[in-house]
Each structure stands twice: as structure tokens, then as C-alpha cells.
């Protein structure tokens, strides 16, 4: 479970970095050279997706919850935005959703 969680987190980080760097270029006038590490991050993101336990809707649904939490951490750490009660509540709900989905892995129904 820890290995899968870390894999989800690293995958989300690569996705966010791959989208954040072009955003910096387009919105903040940063160098277009940022597109090179952005492309590498997105390629890594795609490769990391292939390492997840199964390429199913359940895996991607659980990943979505991890992505939400990772994006909020990014908002706080990188963008320096203080998280609101609603952010924390949304993250808690996303984490509960992840746990519910993962608990059902391997069960039929």
C-alpha cells in the first residue's frame, strides 16, 4: 500500500510539474526553455502510469484523489497560498474516497 501511495504521489507530481512549467512560460513570461523539462515530466508521468497496479478505472479514480491532495500541497508549498478550511475538508474527503476505493480492490461485486 505504501509503495502504491508513493507511486501515486510521484505520478501526480510529474503531472503537475509538466503542466506548471508551460503555465509559467505562458502566464508569467518565463523562458520557453521550460518546455523541455515540462515535456520530460509529462513523459515520465505517462511512463509512471504504466507502473500502477492495474490500468483500470478504479486505479485512476484513486489516483484522482491523490492528485487533488498533491495539487493542494503544491498550492501551499510552491504557490505559497494558505489553505482554507474548505481545502482541508476537500482533501480529507478525497483521502476517504481513496481509502474506500482501494479497500475494494480485489473484491468482486
13-70: per-residue pLDDT in tens? 999 999 999 999 999 999 999 999 999 999 999 999 888 877 677 888 888 999 999 9
Q: What's residue 26's pLDDT?
A: 97
The phi, psi pair for 94, rounded to 5°, reads -60, -45
Band (108; pLDDT cuts 50, 70, 90) = low
**pLDDT over 90 (residue 80):** yes
Q: What's residue 109's pLDDT?
A: 58
The phi, psi pair for 35, rounded to 5°, reads -65, -25
Measured distance CA(76)–CA(67) in Å, rounded: 14
Q: What's residue 27's pLDDT?
A: 96
**pLDDT over 90 (residue 85):** yes
Measured distance CA(90)–CA(37) in Å, rounded: 30
Domain ranges for the chain, please list them.
Answer: 2-103
The pLDDT of 74-94, averaged and rounded, is: 97
pTM of the model: 0.86
Residue 40: CA atoms inside 13 Å, Cβ hemisphere, count?
A: 4
Amino acid at each position: 500500500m505504501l509503495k502504491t501511495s508513493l507511486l501515486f504521489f510521484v505520478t501526480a507530481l510529474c503531472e503537475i510539474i509538466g503542466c506548471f512549467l508551460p503555465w509559467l512560460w505562458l502566464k508569467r513570461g518565463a523562458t520557453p526553455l521550460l518546455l523541455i523539462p515540462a515535456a520530460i515530466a509529462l513523459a515520465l508521468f505517462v511512463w509512471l502510469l504504466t507502473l500502477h497496479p492495474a490500468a483500470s478505472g478504479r486505479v485512476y479514480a484513486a489516483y484522482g484523489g491523490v492528485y487533488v491532495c498533491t495539487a493542494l500541497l503544491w498550492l501551499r508549498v510552491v504557490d505559497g497560498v494558505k489553505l482554507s478550511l474548505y481545502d482541508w475538508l476537500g482533501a480529507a474527503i478525497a483521502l476517504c474516497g481513496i481509502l474506500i476505493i482501494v479497500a475494494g480492490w480485489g473484491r468482486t461485486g
